[in-house]
Structures are given as structure tokens and as C-alpha cells.
A and B are shown apart, each in its own frame.
Chain A
Amino acid sequence: MNLTLKVWRQKNSNTPGRLETYQARNLIPDMSFLEMLDVVNEDIIGRGEEPIAFDSDCREGICGMCSLVINGVPHGGHRGTASCQLHLRHFKNGDTITVEPWRAKAFPIIKDLVTNRSAFDRIIQAGGFVSVNTGGTPDGNALPVPKTAADLAMDAAACIGCGACVAVCKNASAMLFVAAKVSHINLLPQGKAEKDQRVLQMVRQMDSEGFGNCTVTGSCEAVCPKEISLSFIAKMNRDYGAATLKGK
């Protein structure tokens, strides 16, 4: 099969970018979307030009590195699917596909389709952890955790930190990402001691990074490759409200 691509090319963060058109030929439906870009890049290098820069690493939907807006939707709009897991069998021969980077003030473009998502790391650094040092921890079974709590915490912890939730949001809000980490830890007994501080500090950092506010449109949940539930935002708001009322 053959496809026409319109790809965002931008030399660096200071140079304006534009969409360029490329023909992708001799493709097969079993290829992944990124393998298709590999094929296009081989052609581009063959012509002596610079290939399209895009992030990817594990290519199995777990590292969170890949980050393409495909036809206007982060990761391409297939339920629970990261860009690297999207296969060409979902496209038709002759389709024209637009490929763009994440777009958000807090995720500046580095080059082409590559953005800087360090803001997420700084939010975790602000409180997305349990303050335990290595060693001296009690036996793993000393503190039973109800299965329902452990399962719910795991649902939240499945977040891969890709940033699709920010990229799709009309406000470029990071609420789903932050809520997933706050919920994961706050739902577990191990996270209780720092529960209030954690949510306050992480939200403060989120705001200072320039992410927008949440208006609960739910687009984040719809594009999340790990299908993180919007209800975690409600949980975070509850934790945040409680912490604020306590005057922390």
C-alpha cells in the first residue's frame, strides 16, 4: 500500500516549522506506524536529506517515549493504543495522513516531532514518591493492602507518562497525569503519611510549569494509551480539597 504523509518539520525550537509532504510507498498492513516512518526516513537519507526526527524506544507501548499527533489525535485515536502500537492495517491505500508533534506550552518542540517533556519529571520530583530510604523497611506482608485498593492503585500506576493527555486537551492541562500519580500513591497505606503534602506540592509544580486548568471534557481519558480513568481527577480534587481545608 501507499500513503501520503504531511509531516511537521522544524529545525529547532527557535525556527518556525511547516508541514512537508512525503510519499510513503511499498508498505504492508502488518507494519507499525513507526516502521512506516523508518521506511520513509531511509528514502530521505538516500536523497541526502535529514530524516524526520521522532521519539521512540521500546516500541511496545510501555516506555511512553513515542508521541505523535496522527490526523489531529494524539497516538492516532485507537483505543488504548500508543503510536508505536498502531499498525497500518487501520489505514487505507492512498490515505493522506498528517503527523505533528505534541503541542503545549509546557512541552516545547526540540526538533520536528520531538518535544521536551521534562516538566513531567519535575512534577514527580515535587512529591510523586514515598519518602523511604533504601533498607530498614518492614516485611512486605507486614501491612496487608486490600485487593481492591491495590488493584485501583495499579490502574492509576499504569500511566506511561507520554503526555497525550496534555497534547489533546484544549487547555493543555496535565491533570490526568498528575492525578494518576497522586492516586496511585495516595490509595495505598504506604502513601498515607505524606498524602496531603504530596497533592499540594505536585499541583503547585504542575501550575508553575504552565499547564492549563481542567474543564473536565474527558478528551484525556479518550486518548490515553493506558485508558487511565477520569475518575482519578475527581479523587485528586478530593485529596486536594481535604488537604487545603486542613490548612496544610
Chain B
Amino acid sequence: MSLDAKIPDGPLAEKWDKHKFDLKLVNPANKRKFDVIVVGSGLAGASAAASLAELGYQVKCFCFQDSPRRAHSIAAQGGINAAKNYQNDGDSVYRLFYDTIKGGDFRAREANVYRLAQVSVNIIDQCVAQGVPFAREYGGLLANRSFGGAQVSRTFYARGQTGQQLLLGAYQALCRQIGLGTVQMYPRTEMLDLVVIDGHAKGIVVRNLTTGEISSHAADAVVLATGGYGNAFFLSTNAKGCNVTATWRAYRKGAFFANPCYTQIHPTCIPVSGEHQSKLTLMSESLRNDGRVWVPKRKEDCGKPPASIPESDRDYYLERKYPSYGNLAPRDISSRAAKEACDAGRGVGPGGLGVYLDFADAIKRLSESVIRERYGNLFDMYEKITGENAYQVPMRIYPAVHYAMGGSWVDYNLMSNLPGLFILGEANFSDHGANRLGASALMQGLGDGYFVLPYTIGNYFVTSKQPKPSASHAQFKQVEADVRAFTNRLLSIKGKRTATSLHRELGKLLWEKCGMARNEAGLKEALKRIPALREEFWKNLNVTGESGDLNQSLEYAGRVADFMEFAELLCVDALHRRESCGGHFREEFQTAEGEAQRDDEHFSYVAAWEYQGADKPPVLHKEPLVYEAVHMSTRSYK
């Protein structure tokens, strides 16, 4: 099986326009003859479901939460990038494209990233028209702020709740279509498997989480917009419910999984406070506009109150190491620098796992009220969790798992190698390479859903000429039976350990062996221990209750079962990639200064893994990354 990314010919700047013209169209009157399933209702899912329904397709949308408005896109704080150049500071589509490619450490697909930068400007227009209350200047025009990895100010925001406001915009567009009857919404419903007939994705099998009922849904195309796999690490900034189940079960049905080792560790999260910790909370990257990151120069000062440490004894290490980007160095680089400081014994707070993010200078320069206006809700959130007032003492922060750059492999049309299966947003691998820049996830989710899929899906319908699927097909019955067997198996073990305790153990292992830094010995050890832990899971799991009822432990156990398998692929990918790039830092491959050392000669490809069956190693397919417009350089933020 060869991987065809279907990148259009022609100059980079003209590819998308040309492709849009070349794509086959479905006549407006015929669109209602096509059914589309959208799984997930975050930025990508809600925007896709609403846009497809507006075009005339018959849409069913599924989410596991009680309402589509709860999807975890809602928690994104800082902002969304767009190449509007409203600030007259030299921004352009090409510059946003270049920053994103460079930020991704030259491991993203050039044509996709260029298209993303192109549609970024349409996203802002769309959201403004929907009534998203973006921050504005006194003259009434849109305000911007700066984010990591860029030297222009191109981030649009709505206080510290940009994700919430963009999601509510998409949710409201979706609600409008639900009200019009063009979208059927299925909340509290979880996709448990993909149904493939004659090589094409034809539907899904779901569990109604309230009644436990298992049912089949057939469609002409299936769209997964189910987010990332960060919760494999147990502790992450993801919501408790985030999981890899949809894309993992698609992988088991033949959809390739690409670059799982590219996991983003976000530098500014509230540190872990104890064994009970159920999740981690992010402090927006926007804080680094005004906060200065430091640790004491000397180990013996680490226990002292920060105010008592004089300026001359502080190490503002990001400003020292990366003077031209300073505190706004990209996420992977800032996270590693924090780890380095803590590993050297200069970390602060309990266990020495923290660095200061200090606003004292900004408050002196701008006043407390200006800082409150900019970041008030973040300071409040910090105080609720830690009990500390960050206007008076510096915040303590530490890196945490945040975002998955890897995901299901898709071509330029966002279609998987399985025809009829489309994958959007964080769930696909396509746009961020080995590291995502701040404020780019919202851009990608909405770009995919509003402005890419509505064009590409029609071409599939016209060119594939597939028969109308039916949920009564034998294949659906078979998959339903498999799903019931899986559920019953989880309930019948009746062992001694809860899914939480097993998940926590898996997460700890991944964080230690495949976290901010990885090495061959550690990854090999993890690859021995994960199958053993998976065996323990299937022998000693305890799930109480029954399947015909709301049963949260059963839902959770199913997700952990998938993480137990996925974790292995994550480590296999990390072990095979014998280079360091972006969020994937192999200790063996670094420069004398401790920066990531890429190996473009051997590794400038997308690693797409194909499932071969349980307990068989997956097969690696390589999609070479060809750069026509940019020159692959060593990333420098010094």
C-alpha cells in the first residue's frame, strides 16, 4: 500500500485555488442524498457538521458529553492566529506559513500548512460575523497580541477564553442546523467502532451512554473530529473524557496512524500537587507576553521566598539563552529549558519541579490594573488551584502534556487511506509537524471544518460512486457483536484494580520514558513494561455495575483499554525516530548546546503506521516530506 498525499501540482501559493477548481462538485439538489456522520463536536466537528448541513448534506453528529458545547476546545485560553496584518507589522500569509513550518521543525506537509495560513483570514471573518466577541481597540477594530514562535502580533483573542468563544460560535451554528432539522444530534453517545465495507468507511457503532444501548449508524462518509491522545499520559491538560478511542479503533480497521511520538509538552502549567491529582491546568502562553521566567542561579536559594532573592542571583534563562525571542520562545524549547533547570537542581516549589513566572516587572511598568485587565481570569484560576496570589508572588509553573501533533494519517483532502473516512483537527497529523505553535490549534480546527472539508468531501462522493450503505448490512451486525463482546469482557474480569490505578501507572511510565526527553534504553524498557501492564489490565481490572445503564467506570475502562494499546505505538514511533525534532527529543541526538538535532537525510518523512493485528508489530509507511518553497534550516530562536 503506497501513501499518496494527493498534493496538487503548481506553485505553492496557487495549489489550493487550483485544487478547489479541480474538485468535483455535487449538485445542490443532490446533496441531500448524502449522509455524513461527524464524531466529535469541538471546533473541528461542530464547524464541519454545521457547514456540511448548510450545504445541504444530511448530517448526524455524535458527542460523549451531555451537550456539544462541552467539547474540550472550550478550554483553549490564549487565542487564534490569522495572517490579517491588521497591526501593519509585516505579517502575511507567507510569514504565517513560514513561522508554522519552522515552528513545526520542518516535519509538517508544506502544502497543508500553506493552505492553513490562507484560510486563517477567512476564519476571523466568519467568527466575527457569528458574533464572537473578540477583544477590540477603542476605535472598534480587532485587537491582537503576540504568541510564542512569532515576531509579529497576529493572535486574535477573547480575554483568556478564546476557545470558549470560538466553540460557542461553532456550537451556535450547529444548533441553528439542529433547529432546522438538517443535523441530528446525539449527545452522551460514544463511538465504539468504525464499520468498513469493501474498503470504504460506511458507518459507526455507538453506545448510548445513558441507556447502554449499542446501535449502528450508516453513512456515505464518516468524519472523525475526536481530538488528541494526550490523556495516554494520565496527567495532561486535556479534559477527563478526552481519549484516543475513535482514531484508535479506526487504526485497528486499517486507518494509518502518523507520528504519534510528536506530543506537545506545554511549558506553563500549574505543577502537580500530589498523588491524588486528576488532571493538570494550563496557564495560557499569553502570560509570557508580560511574565518573566526564572529560577535561582544557586541551588541553595531554591527554598527561599522568591522576593528575598536579589535580581543578581536570578537566572532569566529564556532571555539569556534565546535573546531574540526571550520569554516567547516556542513551547518545545521553553519546556526543555525548564526541565534542564529543574534537573540541575534549581527548580522551585515542592519536589523542585517548578520554575517562576514573574509579573513583578510588568506590574511595575504597567500597573496591577492593566495586568488584571489582560489576564485577570488566569490569575483567579491560579489562585483557586494553588491558594496563592500571583499579583504578589510569582506563579510556579512546570511543563505538562498538552497537545497531540500526531494523529490519523490524512491526505491533502483530509481523507484517511481508508476511503470515506475523513479526520479533522487535533485528531489528524497534518499541519503542526513536530511542534505546534501557540494559537494554531484553534486555527486548524476551524480551518478544517469550515473551509477545507466542505470542499473536499463532495469530490469523494462524486468520484467514488459507492452504493448507499445500510445499517442492516451483515458487517454492521458483526461489529455490533464485537462491541458487545468487548463491553462484556471488561465487566466480567472482576479483578482487584480500578481503571484509574492502571491508567495512572501507564501514564507515569510514559511520562518517565517517553516524555520531555526520551532515549533508546528507556523506550525499550517501556516497550517491555507496557505489554505486561496491558496483561495486568485484562486480568485484574475491576469494573462494577452493568452495561445497560449509565456506567461511567465502564466508559472509562474502555478508553483506558485503548490507551494501553496506543501507548505501545507511541513508544515504537519514538524509538524508530533516531533524531530529535520539535516535541520529540531523543537525548542521543542533541547539539553541544543541548538543542534538538534533526537528521533530515534519514528522517524527513511522515511515519504512518499500519495495524497488523494484536501482538504483531505494525508496518511503517513513509511519506517523504518534500519542501518546494522553503529551505529546511536549523531552527534558531537565539
Q: Which of A38, A53, A65, A138 meets B70, CB within 8 Å?
A: A65
* Interface residues as binary, A108-140 with B (CB distance below 8 Å gives 1, 0 otherwise): 001100101110110011101111111101111
Min CB gap A203→B, angstroms: 15
Q: Is A144 in the interface zone, CB < 8 Å from B?
A: yes
Q: Which of B125, B141, B274 meets A137, CB within 8 Å?
A: B125
Q: Contacts of B142 on A, CB cut-off 8 Å?
A: 140-141
Would A135 and B126 be within 8 Å (CB), given that A117-B66, A150-B135 are in contact? Answer: yes
Which B-chain residue is minimally distant from A67 (CB atoms)?
A: B66
Q: Interface segment, B250-258, B275-283, B415-423, B474-482?
A: B275-283
Q: Which of A53, A80, A132 has the most CB of B within 10 A?
A: A132
Min CB gap A40→B, angstroms: 11
A147 B137 Cβ-Cβ under 8 A: yes
- Which positions 156-204 of chain B face chain A at CB distance < 8 Å? 156, 158-159, 161, 164-165, 168, 171-173, 175-176, 178-179, 185, 187
Would A45 and B125 be within 8 Å (CB), given that A50-B545, A59-B240, A118-B66 are in contact? Answer: no
A55 B66 Cβ-Cβ under 8 A: yes
Q: Is A62 in the interface zone, CB < 8 Å from B?
A: yes
Q: Is A184 in the interface zone, CB < 8 Å from B?
A: yes
Q: Is B140 in the interface zone, CB < 8 Å from A?
A: yes
Q: Which of A50, A85, A132 meets B385, CB within 8 Å?
A: A85
Q: Contacts of A190 on B, CB cut-off 8 Å?
A: 128-131
In the bound complex, what is the Cα–Cα distance between A131 and B54 (angstroms)?
11
Q: Contacts of A105 on B, CB cut-off 8 Å?
A: none
- Which positions 65-118 of chain A face chain B at CB distance < 8 Å? 65, 80-81, 85-87, 89, 110-111, 114, 116-118
B278 A35 Cβ-Cβ under 8 A: yes
Chain A interfacial positions (CB closer than 8 Å to B): 11-12, 27-28, 30-32, 34-35, 38-39, 42, 44-46, 48-51, 53, 55-65, 80-81, 85-87, 89, 110-111, 114, 116-118, 120-121, 124-126, 128-135, 137-141, 143-147, 150-151, 153-154, 157-158, 160-161, 184-185, 188, 190-191
Q: Is B266 in the interface zone, CB < 8 Å from A?
A: no
In the bound complex, what is the Cα–Cα distance between A146 and B140 (angstroms)?
4
Q: Contacts of B276 on A, CB cut-off 8 Å?
A: 27-28, 31, 35, 38-39
Min CB gap B537→A, angstroms: 15
- Which positions 272-308 of chain B face chain A at CB distance < 8 Å? 273-274, 276-279, 281-282
In the bound complex, what is the Cα–Cα distance between A120 and B168 (angstroms)?
13
Q: Contacts of A31 on B, CB cut-off 8 Å?
A: 274, 276
Looking at chain A's contact residues, the main secondary structure is loop
5 closest Cβ contacts across the A-B interface?
A: A144-B140, A129-B172, A125-B179, A137-B129, A154-B133
Would A114 and B273 be within 8 Å (CB), given that A59-B239, A129-B175, A190-B131 are in contact? Answer: no
Q: Contacts of B137 on A, CB cut-off 8 Å?
A: 147
A141 B278 Cβ-Cβ under 8 A: no
Sample of 5 further A-B pairs with CB below 8 A, known A124-B171, A130-B130, A154-B159: A34-B278, A60-B75, A129-B176, A141-B142, A160-B164
Q: Is B210 in the interface zone, CB < 8 Å from A?
A: yes
Q: Contacts of B281 on A, CB cut-off 8 Å?
A: 59-60
A145 B140 Cβ-Cβ under 8 A: yes
Would A124 and B161 be within 8 Å (CB), given that A42-B501, A137-B125 are in contact? Answer: no
B454 A134 Cβ-Cβ under 8 A: yes
Would A110 and B161 be within 8 Å (CB), given that A85-B384, A87-B385, A129-B176 are in contact? Answer: no
Which A-chain residue is minimally distant from B209 (CB atoms)?
A: A110
Q: Contacts of A151 on B, CB cut-off 8 Å?
A: 133, 136
Which B-chain residue is minimally distant from A157 (CB atoms)?
A: B133
Give me 24 A-to-B residue pairs in the complex whose CB atoms sit less than 8 angstroms apart, sorted by A's number. A51-B552, A53-B550, A53-B552, A57-B239, A57-B240, A58-B70, A59-B239, A60-B279, A63-B75, A63-B239, A85-B385, A89-B387, A117-B67, A118-B66, A121-B69, A121-B178, A125-B179, A128-B175, A130-B130, A132-B126, A132-B129, A143-B128, A144-B139, A161-B69
Q: Contacts of A53 on B, CB cut-off 8 Å?
A: 550, 552
Min CB gap A73→B, angstroms: 17
Q: Contacts of A154 on B, CB cut-off 8 Å?
A: 133, 135, 158-159, 165
Would A138 and B69 be within 8 Å (CB), given that A28-B274, A42-B498 are in contact? Answer: no
Min CB gap A120→B, angstroms: 7
In the bound complex, what is the Cα–Cα distance between A44 and B158 (angstroms)?
42
Which A-chain residue is minimally distant from B51 (CB atoms)?
A: A134
Chain B interface size band reads 35 or more
Q: Contacts of A133 on B, CB cut-off 8 Å?
A: 51, 54
A134 B126 Cβ-Cβ under 8 A: yes
Chain B interfacial positions (CB closer than 8 Å to A): 47, 50-51, 54, 65-70, 72, 74-75, 84, 86, 122, 124-131, 133-142, 156, 158-159, 161, 164-165, 168, 171-173, 175-176, 178-179, 185, 187, 210, 239-241, 273-274, 276-279, 281-282, 380-381, 384-385, 387, 450-451, 454, 498, 500-501, 542, 544-545, 549-553
In the bound complex, what is the Cα–Cα distance between A124 and B122 (angstroms)?
25
B129 A130 Cβ-Cβ under 8 A: yes
A140 B128 Cβ-Cβ under 8 A: yes
Q: Which of A80, A89, A120, A133 has the most CB of B within 10 A?
A: A133
A141 B133 Cβ-Cβ under 8 A: no
Would A147 and B133 be within 8 Å (CB), given that A57-B239, A63-B72 are in contact? Answer: no
Which A-chain residue is minimally distant from B449 (CB atoms)?
A: A134
In the bound complex, what is the Cα–Cα distance between A39 and B275 (angstroms)?
11
Min CB gap B70→A, angstroms: 5
Would A150 and B175 be within 8 Å (CB), given that A28-B276, A64-B70, A81-B384 are in contact? Answer: no
In the bound complex, what is the Cα–Cα distance between A146 and B279 (angstroms)?
39
Min CB gap B264→A, angstroms: 18
In the bound complex, what is the Cα–Cα distance between A160 and B167 (angstroms)?
11
Min CB gap A11→B, angstroms: 8
Would A45 and B544 be within 8 Å (CB), given that A134-B54, A134-B454, A144-B139 are in contact? Answer: yes
B172 A147 Cβ-Cβ under 8 A: no
Q: Contacts of A60 on B, CB cut-off 8 Å?
A: 75, 279, 281-282, 381
In the bound complex, what is the Cα–Cα distance between A181 and B171 (angstroms)?
13
A124 B172 Cβ-Cβ under 8 A: yes
